[in-house]
Amino acid sequence: MASLRVENLRKEYNRGSIVAVDDLTLEVPDGEFVTVVGPSGCGKTTTLRMIAGLEKPTSGALHLGDEDVTEQSARERDIAMVFQNYALYPHKTVFQNMAFGLRMSTDLSKGEREQKVHWAAEMMGIEDLLEKKPDELSGGQKQRVALGRAIVREPKLFLFDEPLSNLDAKLRTTMRAEIQRLQNELGITSIYVTHDQEEAMTMGDKIVILEDGELQQTGAPKDVYDRPTNSFVGGFIGSPSMNFVDVVARKSDSSLVLTDEVDFRYSLSEAYANEIAVEDGQEITLGIRPEDVHPADPGSDNGVEATVDVVEPIGSDNYLYLDIGPDFIARVAADVEPEPDERITVTFDESKVRLFDRETGDSLL
């Protein structure tokens, strides 16, 4: 086990015309489970491959524990990687697949190797599959074998590259829990790449969000959800997405009123408004999550009027699509059932309102 330090890591392709990873600095403490998430092409896989030693950084450094591993080959780094496509040897049995990594990297006796494979197979509940070949296994079983092969070596670091993408939704949920259980029991520092923000939020002790090769934010999932550092993170994390409304700030000594060009008007209380560094007339973007939009009495003094486009029941709650902004959604109780085209009034949970600079997207709170 070991901590990982990523320092100013950069990866260029095509003589610098593509910057896949741009000045990435990260600290992963010993035993922590970190998820890395971001849209397609943001540099997740490249980052992971550089940590694994499969790709050489253009610049920057990697430390595993006290050791600088930047110049080490993949084999020298005590790291195990689990891939989306399992990467099992098709002609070897499950036992041989799992034992292979051990033969390459340690000088254990045959008996010790067997013992370790059986220990890992038991951890993964695949003891009865040991004599089978990969093509006799289901997708879920193959991924268990791939995980077993990773843990049998007891590496310093686990790297996961979208390991559950090929599994159906139900199996994915089971395997998520399984990977978390394993990581808890073994306490191995882990980095888990996914494009699925929900997976990243539920699995990570810490979540790392990338866009265009650059780190956007890192922190505990709930902190990132509640206090996104910019509108990209606010919109990327959470489903359905955070609602955004472009507004102009009207500031006086005692209030901050946000208006748009039509009939949107929302005022922030004095105490809250004082915390925000905006100028009178500044163009900003208001962000509010669907669950923080609530029905209000018509004519209430801080209500926003809206026309209902669509009511979408999801069982426990209803989603109301409102004409306040593009795809503006309120998540309300299942017994709030307005008709399409009905005019309703909503208000926001003020402490959950986020304000962003419209030009840079940076949070103003």
Contact footprint for ligand ATP (CB under 6 A): 13-14, 18, 20, 38, 40-46, 195
Q: How far is the CB of 239 from ligand ATP (least distance, A)?
A: 17
| Cα 169 from Cα 76, distance rounded (Å) | 36
Q: Burial of 304 by CB count in 10 Å (0-12 exposed, 13-18 middle, 19+ buried)? A: buried
CB nearer ligand ATP, residue 124 or residue 209: 209
The answer to whether the beta carbons of residues 26 and 194 sit under 8 Å apart is no
Closer by beta carbon to ligand ATP, 20 or else 121: 20
CB 352 within 8 A of CB 289: yes
Please, which residue, 20 or 62, has the CB nearer to ligand ATP?
A: 20
CA pair distance 270, 329, nearest whole angstrom: 27
Closest to ligand ATP by CB, 159 or 288: 159
**Measured distance CA(123)–CA(82) in Å, rounded:** 16
User: What distance in Å separates the CA atoms of residue 23 and residue 87, rounded to the nearest whole number?
Assistant: 30
Least distance (Å) between residue 236 CB and ligand ATP: 13
Instruction: Kindly state the helix (H) or strand (E) to which residue 293 belongs, with its residue range.
Output: strand 293-295
Helix (H) / strand (E) element for 149: namely: helix 139-152
C-alpha separations of 86 from 34, 127, 148, 169 in Å:
21, 18, 11, 17
- Going by C-alpha positions, the residue among 227, 245, 247 that lies closest to residue 237 is 227
Cβ proximity to ligand ATP, 43 vs 228, nearer residue: 43
Residue 173 CB, nearest approach to ligand ATP (Å): 21
Minimum CB distance to ligand ATP smaller for 102 or for 210: 210
Rounded to a whole number of angstroms, the minimum distance from the CB of residue 319 to ligand ATP is: 27
For residue 72, CA distances in Å to 12, 76, 292 come to 19, 6, 49
Report the nearest approach of ligand ATP to the CB of residue 57 (Å).
13
Question: How near is the Cβ of 214 to ligand ATP at its closest, in Å?
Answer: 11
Write phi, then psi, for 178 (nearest 5 degrees).
-65, -45
Q: Whose CA is closest to 218, among 62, 353, 37, 47? A: 37
User: 172 or 354: whose CB is closer to ligand ATP?
Assistant: 172
DSSP state of 294: E
DSSP codes of every residue in 79-121: EEEEETT----TTS-HHHHHHHHHHHH----HHHHHHHHHHHH
Beta bridge partners of 365: none
The nearer residue to ligand ATP, 20 or 88, going by C-beta atoms, is: 20
Looking at beta carbons only, is 13 or 89 nearer to ligand ATP? 13
| Nearest distance, CB of residue 159 and ligand ATP, angstroms | 13
Rounded to 5°, the CA angle 216-24-206 comes to: 60
